[in-house]
Structure 1
Amino acid sequence: MRAPRLVAVLAATAALSAGLAACSDSGDDTTAQPPVVAADDVKTGPPSGWSDGGFTPDPASLRCGQTAADPTRGITDTEITIGGLAYLTSPNGSSMAGVELGAKARFDRANDEGGVNGRKINYIGTLDDGNDPARNGSQAKVLVEQKKVFAAVPLLTSSSNYLDTFCADTVPFFGWGTNPGYCGTTIGFGITGCQVPSDKVGAVSTTYGLMIQAMFGGDAKGKTTALVGVDNDSARTGTHELARQISAVGIDVVYEENPIPVSGLTDTTAVVNAIMTSNKGAPPDVVLYIADFNSVVKLTGAMTAAGFQGKHLNPVGYDPRLAASSFQGLQQSYTIVQWQPGVDTSVPAVKQLADDLAKYTPEASLSLTTMSGYWAADMFITAATKAGPDLTVDSLLKLLNSGTYTNYVEGALPETRFPVNHVIGAPCASIVQLNGNKYDITSDLACGTLVKK
């Protein structure tokens, strides 16, 4: 059965293959090893209260810290104008379609409940940049200069050309932090933090390492991992970042290569042969595929055909439409998700999300992109409500960047705090496995720690 055209990508896919170059520095030592902590000393914990390891970024190093020239832009006594920016289409067919539906559902519920301190949200929709960097920049200008938005919600793009305009005009933006614009600024708020940190950030997350531990029941001593990614400079930076997260908890990374062409993989033979012998002539225990959906499916199938008996892990394989179709290409594969999966409606906040989608945007599925749009809108609504009735751009940013503000949806979305998460992601995730026509949750949403360099 043909898979539905999936759109969900994490930092390890769209952002790491298209946006990381802006975050990387040619002077960085990309061969430097991360700090390693004893595996027994790092355990998964609850999705709030995670340790920052003593890491505190310098607020003065963050860009866009000026006050707004027009702090009441897009706000009146009765409404707040909000608009989003995403690639809802792209030349290669992949997209973030659904993100706008998730945001709309959350905004519609807020309006039905009376708005934000009495102001209704005037959601003008999400502009499509077509995954074109030039259009990304021009659409940002439309949002600010023509639409006069108070904030950009949701924002889910691979390019960060929007930042020139948003920084100059002090436009807060909320979304999935999978592009460099969410990193190193005071105005970008990722629902799971900055997902594409620079090598120069003084901390390393343990997220991927802990999730691999979870795949082995919490004990991955002596296990090995291979990472295979896309062939460009920015994607190599992203692959290296994930290798650091895995190595940080003492799991051996035996293969860290980027042989997949940007246009997609055709012949898998050389890649499969290299991975199958990467562990001192033997296969690794886990292969982490950091690529587009089609390449992940193709490589997973090729590895299985070659006799690989280990575990397949990817960041793109969670979508209820796959389970509904009993999609064969990723059966028994694991997918890392940065919040509690939508299949778990036993969590009240996840059930609320599912109910909101059913009521306000019934055409939406519980995909990663839809959920990311919903949580981005929820993050904005929560912050704007707490900022009080005298809401301005400056008062909102002052609250969010106070050093004490946290965003957390119990059991559903991990805690983020700023300024820490302006420069690095929250060390949190969950793991699901596709088994037949359902996803089994291998690890509920949990957090590790940041390890200070």
Structure 2
Amino acid sequence: MSRPIRTIAAAAALLLAAACNSASTSGEPADKSGSSVRGVTADSIKVGGIVSMTTASGYSKKDTDLGARARYERANAEGGVHGRKIEYLGAEDDGQDPGRNLAAARKLVQQEKVFAVSPMSSVTFSGADFLERQKVPTFGWGTVPQFCGPQYIYGFGGCMVPTPGGTITQSWPEGLAQVLGGAKGKSVAILANDNDAGGFAIRTYRQGFAAAGFQVSYAKPIVPATSLPSDWSAYTKEILRSAGGKAPDAVVSVMQTPYNIGLFTALKRAGYRGLLTDPTDYDPGLLAKSATRQALDGVHVLLSFEPFESDSPAMTRFKEDIRKTAGKDVPLNMHMMTGYMSADLFLAVAEKAGEKLTVDSFQKAAASYSDTGTMVGDRDLAKGRKEAFGCGALVRLKNGAYEVSSPFACYEPIPFG
């Protein structure tokens, strides 16, 4: 099809869609507030989520849904948002599959008629363009590029994936420098999966660790993303001689838990005695199995939020909310925090938008929204389109329990180049 014909066809499709939308709106009875805003009535705001509850590797983010539900339930108990209760539909499981992610986004918007998607937690965010075109406010952990730049998609910690003209947060390298007594003369090896996210992570962290003063002796996105290696020796051999024929001072894994368990176990068996670190394995539930606990013992985990070991009022409230929604004491994990803080930021912006909630009023509120002292640091949504909020901590698993190895703090970012 020639370009002019494609253009005409696209325009016709847009006109048809507009006509259908207009017809459906006029054919539906107005709610008692007279609102025609998708997902908003006089007494409710409809919200849904998209979460990788199941994956091919067995890794699950299902507790993201629990975290979001806990925050929405507290909001409703406190009277809702300007008198409107949050009608949370729960999270669709995308199975970490691109097709299912897009299908989930379409279902929530076209069938369920949600006002917002919060949380969205998946490394596969193929539904981003659809949600952006449909002007659906969407909140999640901004660890994939789709959270960086769009007008309607927000990371609760900002844009965690650097973009041209943006910055790189230094909480990981600076935190490790504290643990190691400085970065000068120290070497790091960085390993990631063989996919787009892994390649970008290598590019980012290579620059970040070098800027902090580390020698980056190895940085490769070469581990298959679709299946766990049965033999890690090819990777460990390279890593263990990457620092001028010697082992590096630290091994940085930018992968999910099943991969980290395999890699770290193989490194320990090969005699590695350096520092191990990843951004994933802060989950007390992992400690239930002795093999998992042994594999992750000594690992320093990066957090982009306040550690659960904190006794701040916000953390105390978070724990109480989770306990109430779960109906019992449950092991806390970072997925709960992802859901909770996604919901928390959505609620904060919706509150600022005022009683007349529309997509436009919501976007206007978001454009100037900022606050301080939250469990993810100081939030600034204008800044967060291109930058992370720059705060983090490290916790170490030791003798079956987590302890803070580098306190939660905010660091000056560096330009991304």
Taking the TM superposition and a 5 Å limit, the aligned residue runs for 1:300-379 are 300-323=264-287, 325=289, 327-344=293-310, 346-362=311-327, 365-379=331-345
Q: Which residue of 1 aligns with 2:139?
A: 174
Partner of 1:152: 117
Q: 1:71 to 1:315 in 2, by over 3 A?
A: farther
Q: Cα deviation per residue 1:133-165 (whole Å; 9 max; x = unaligned)?
A: 112112211111111111111111222221232
Distance 1:258 1:430 in 2: 25
Deviation at 1:227, TM superposition (A): 0.4
Work out whether residues 162 and 168 of structure 2, in 8 Å CA contact, stay in contact via their aligned partners in 1.
no
**Partner SS state of residue 335, structure 2:** helix
Q: Which residue of 1 aligns with 2:32?
A: none
Equivalent runs, 1:56-205 vs 2, <5 Å: 72-198=37-163, 200-205=164-169
- What residue identity is the alignment partner of 1:309? R
Given that residues 87 and 130 in structure 1 are in contact (C-alpha distance below 8 angstroms), is that contact kept between their aligned partners in structure 2? yes
Is residue 324–residue 438 contact of structure 1 (8 Å, CA) maintained in 2? Answer: no
**2:171 and 2:392 in contact (8 A); partners too:** yes
Distance in 1 (alpha carbons) for counterparts of 2:352 and 2:331: 30
Structure 1 match to 2:256: 292
Structure 2 residue 210 is the aligned partner of structure 1 residue 247: yes
Q: Does 1:385 align with 2:348?
A: no
Paired amino acid for 1:229: A
In structure 2, do the counterparts of structure 1 residues 124 and 400 end up closer, same or farther at CA, with 3 Å as the change threshold? same
Q: Distance in 1 between matches of 2:352 and 2:202?
A: 38
Tell me the residue number matched to 1:277.
Answer: 241
1:444 Cα deviation after fit: 2.0
For residue 304 of structure 1, report the CA deviation from its aligned partner. Answer: 1.8
Q: 1:330 to 1:92 in 2, by over 3 A?
A: closer
Give the deviation of 1:393 after TM superposition.
Answer: 1.4
Q: Residue 398 of structure 2 aligns to which amino acid in structure 1?
A: N
More helix by share: 2
* Consecutive unaligned residues in structure 2, runs of 5 or more: 1-20, 23-34
Q: Aligned letter for 1:272?
A: T
Give the structure 2 partner of residue 400 of structure 1: 366
- The alpha-carbon deviation at position 207 of structure 1 amounts to 2.5
Q: Distance in 1 between matches of 2:205 and 2:257?
A: 18
Following superposition of structure 1 onto structure 2, how do residues 33-72 of structure 1 map, counting pairs within 5 Å? 72=37
Amino acid at match of 1:126: A
For residues 350 and 395 of structure 1, the distance between their equivalents in structure 2, rounded to whole angstroms, comes to 30
For residues 234 and 382 of structure 1, do their structure 2 counterparts lie closer, same or farther at Cα, with a shift above 3 Å needed? Answer: closer
Change (3 A) 1:325 1:161: closer
Residue 143 of structure 1 aligns with an amino acid whose one-letter code is L
Distance of aligned partners of 1:304 and 1:93 in 2 relative to their CA distance in 1, 3 Å threshold: closer
- TM-score (structure 2 length as normaliser): 0.86
C-alpha contact 1:224 1:285 (8 A) present in aligned 2: yes
- 1:227-242 pair list within 5 angstroms: 227-242=190-205
Q: How far does residue 371 in structure 1 lie from its aligned partner after superposition?
A: 1.2
Task: Determine if the alignment matches structure 1 residue 443 to structure 2 residue 403.
Answer: no
Indicate the RMSD between aligned Cα atoms, in angstroms.
Answer: 2.0
- Residue segments in structure 1 that go unaligned for 5+ positions in a row: 1-67
Secondary structure class of the residue paired with 2:296 = coil
- CA displacement at 1:325 relative to structure 2: 5.0
Instruction: Find the residue that maps to 1:341 and give its secondary structure.
Output: coil
DSSP 3-state at the match of 2:173: helix
Deviation of the 1:362 alpha carbon: 3.3
Question: Contact 1:230–1:258 at 8 Å: present in 2 too?
Answer: yes
- Change in Cα spacing, 1:365 to 1:394, as seen in structure 2 (3 Å) is farther
Q: How far apart in 1 are the matches of 2:390 and 2:373?
A: 15
SS at match of 2:294: coil
Q: Cα offset for 1:408? A: 4.0
Q: Give the whole-Å Cα distance in 1 for the aligned partners of 2:166 and 2:342.
A: 27
The whole-number CA distance in structure 2 between the counterparts of 1:71 and 1:212 is 51
Q: SS of the residue aligned with 2:159?
A: coil
Paired letter, 2:399: G
Contact 1:335 1:431 (C-alpha < 8 Å) held by counterparts: yes
- Residue type matched to 1:292 in 2? Q
Equivalent AA in structure 2 for residue 154 of structure 1: P
Task: Tell me by how many angstroms 1:231 deviates.
Answer: 2.2
> What TM-score do you get using the length of structure 1 for normalisation?
0.79
Deviations 1:298-347 (A, max 9, x none): 22122222222211111122111234556111111111111012232x11
**One-letter identity of the residue aligned with 1:298:** G
> Which residue of structure 1 aligns with residue 14 of structure 2?
none
